[in-house]
Amino acid sequence: MQLLKRAIDSVLIQSYPRIEIIVVDDGSADGTRDYLHDLSKASSIRSIFMPVSVGACNARNFAINSANGEFLTGLDDDDYFEPDRIRKFVDKWQEINNQNIRLAGLFDGIQIIRNETQLLASLSQATNGNQLKIRNVIGNQVFAPREHFIGAGLFDNSLPCWQDWDLWCRMAKQYGDFLNCGNFSYVQDLKSTSNRISTQPGFTIRYASRRFQMKHGPYSLSERAGFVSSLCDYPQVTLYPSELFMLAGSWQIPALARKLAQILLPRSAYSGLRELVNSK
């Protein structure tokens, strides 16, 4: 519950004042409901209590459909916002809107906390639907009009993972590009939770990758190689020999080296190497 309090507090102290906070309690049984009941009485927070757990995607979709605001962004309960995140998003959207640019939404850099070390995730300045179907350079949250989430079909709860990536692809296809604000205003705390895609078994990610490619294909050979390179981010996914040859033939050398390091180096040595690469 301390992580949830930290997440909510980071929204309450935002420098942009006009924020509707919706918290969906997905059937918790650890005292969170009592905390949210008390919080709702003393603040502008609106809590939605699911009678039983319906899963993260359904909970998020319920919140989106219940929202009253023009724009939406999400926050996982084990992460938190920097104080100016929302204000900078709103200012950027108004600036872009005045230029009459077709835009699906905005995203921002991510500060990653892992093993007491704070790292900055390197993200692209902008991305479109064709680029997104190869690699998720956005992360797990965007800022966009509510109608874009709904119009693109919301989160797909039939996918075992990558539900956010899948939705960003559909939003980009329908509404335009995503633009990076470059402020690193989302803090992702990996040391506080184990419920991340990075901890999912390899077969789960494999199944998700097949479903994902079926939804967003067809893929050219170079696009397939780019997608395979994104699988190299997951040590638990074993690449087939044909995929290793594909990486080599398409000059995806950094991804190939990363996967070979996962295979050849002891886990502790590879983890240290990954930390070094991510910190640069």
Is 208 part of any domain?
Answer: no
Is 237 part of any domain?
Answer: yes
pLDDT at 196: 60
Is 275 part of any domain?
Answer: yes
Is 241 part of any domain?
Answer: yes
**Are 179 and 223 part of one and the same domain?**
no
Is 199 part of any domain?
Answer: no
**Are 156 and 262 part of one and the same domain?**
no
Is 204 part of any domain?
Answer: no
**Are 35 and 87 part of one and the same domain?**
yes
User: Residue with structure tokens 């390179």?
Assistant: 229
pLDDT at 168: 98
Distance CA(266)–CA(181), nearest Å, equals: 38
The parent domain of residue 259 ranges over 218-279
**Are 144 and 249 part of one and the same domain?**
no
Between the CA atoms of 245, 251, 197 and 201, what dihedral angle is there, to the nearest 10 degrees?
10
**Are 137 and 249 part of one and the same domain?**
no
Domain tally, the chain: 2
DSSP sequence for 166-204: HHHHHHHHHH-EEEE-----EEEEGGG-S-SGGGS-HHH
pLDDT at 265: 63
pLDDT at 226: 94
Chain CA centroid to CA 12, Å:
21
Distance CA(35)–CA(48), nearest Å, equals: 13
How large is the angle between the packed helices 221-231 and 253-264, nearest 10 degrees?
40
DSSP 143: B
pLDDT at 107: 95
**Are 147 and 248 part of one and the same domain?**
no
- For the record, the structure tokens of 97 come out as 């809107």
Contact in structure between 73 and 185 (CB atoms under 8 Å)? no
Is 239 part of any domain?
Answer: yes
Domain stops at, among 152, 175, 192: 192
**Are 183 and 242 part of one and the same domain?**
no
**Are 159 and 259 part of one and the same domain?**
no
pTM: predicted TM-score of the whole model, two decimal places? 0.89
Could you list the pLDDT tens digit for every one of the 280 residues in the chain? 789 999 999 999 999 999 999 999 887 777 788 888 888 776 778 988 888 888 889 999 999 999 999 999 999 999 999 999 999 999 999 999 878 788 999 999 888 887 766 767 666 889 999 999 999 999 999 999 999 999 999 999 999 999 999 999 999 999 999 999 988 999 998 876 555 656 789 999 999 999 999 999 999 999 999 999 999 888 899 999 999 999 999 888 888 888 888 777 655 444 444 443 443 3
